[in-house]
Amino acid sequence: MQELINNTISTAGILVTLGLLFLIGLAAHETGKRTNIPRVTLLLLLGAIASPNALDIVPHQLQNWFPVVSQIALCMVGFLLGEQFIYRTLSKSGKIVWLITAFESVAASIFVFLLLYLLSAPIILALLLAGIAPASAPAATMDVVKESHLKGLLPGTLLKVVAIDDAFGIFLFALCLAAAEFISGSPGLYLGFFKAIWEILGAILIGCAIGWPMAKLTGRLSSGEPTLIEALGFVLLNGGLAQLSGASYLLSSIVLGAVVANFARHHTRPFHAIEGISTPLLIIFFFMAGFQFDISAFSLIGYIGGAYIISRSAGKILGGYFGAQIAGADKIIQNHIGWCLLPQAGVALGLALMAAERHPEYASQLLSLLVGTTIIFELFGPVLTRMALIKAAKANKAE
């Protein structure tokens, strides 16, 4: 009987917490509309306050859900980002998107390596951090764009850039990891490189394989609940198969969305269906991400962490500017795109774990540094993204 009572109390606590979370998400959304603070940042802060390092008020059973909720949310985010890659619109801005992504990714990587090398950081550590630097935070960026309700050249270009940003990042990470293993004389020189390449190629293959039947089925059923079940089934199947095979489930979800957007008869239906259920999951995702923040990680950043923050930011901002300029993009994109690319989150930590596995001698320093810098980029990056979008919208109106 006592066990039954404890289980009832535990279940009630989870239900109360989830109800409060959704209401907090609504309050954060309304607050964000009246200030320059995005919902993402507010939810991260609230999650940090509720964490075991502060008030510790979230049931432990709910905490165990975070990995699953995180993966489901990112699969949906990837699928929604894939809609940006409709051929007829990409053919107009494709060169701009690819050049911006290439320049800001490479610049972030080079700037981080050079500054850390000049500061006499171990060359292996400098290479590993340079490989992680290009990774961004698609979920946070998309949420800021969606919450702002701003339209125009910059939001559209930004969503396309962050959709392929991590593919560039994974490739650059593979090169940096291979260079680090060559310098250290590791026998697994090619293992990390080919593993990272498979993350990209495998994601493309799986996304296309699942996307083609999804595109053919979409539109043959009536809109509403059947479309939601159909879309959710394909998105989760795709993400699960990608993860099982060792491919990037985020990139595979983007490819899935792109295939459906280009080949489905009524491609808007599944995107509207997924968008409708992604918001509550994203609220839990960002809150629980903040819940994992540990304020003590700030003390572990050190001068290397400070140099990483400065050099990565400079690379993203300047690389985005020059990439847009060379591509002949609008002045508004040139001046603001780099400031929108600063958020960094889960993909970077995933790459850090991979790097730590290959170079255990730097594992502790690498992971503690990335956790601390991720807190800074996740808290302040979305704020800068929103400010840049608002400035761009004002400049667009003035023109």
Q: Where are the domains of the chain?
A: 9-63, 66-398
Instruction: Name the packing angle between helices 138-148 and 2-34 (round to 10°).
Output: 60
- Report residues of the chain scoring pLDDT below 70: 1-10, 13, 33, 36, 54, 60-63, 87-93, 185-193, 219-226, 266-269, 292-301, 346, 398-399
Output the pLDDT for position 10. 63
Helix (H, G, I), strand (E, B) or coil at 167: helix
Task: Enter the pTM of the model.
Answer: 0.76
Output the pLDDT for position 200. 81
DSSP run (H or E) holding 100: helix 87-118
Output the pLDDT for position 168. 80
Output the pLDDT for position 236. 92
At CA 182, angle to CA 177 and CA 185, rounded to 5? 120
Residues 109, 112, 115, 119, CA torsion sign: negative
Output the pLDDT for position 325. 92
CATH class for domain 66-398?
mainly alpha
Q: Which long-range contacts (CB under 8 A, 24 or more apart) does 166-169 make?
A: 166/135, 166/136, 166/138, 166/248, 166/250, 166/251, 166/347, 167/200, 167/203, 167/248, 167/251, 168/101, 168/102, 168/105, 168/134, 169/105, 169/132, 169/134, 169/135, 169/136, 169/347, 169/351
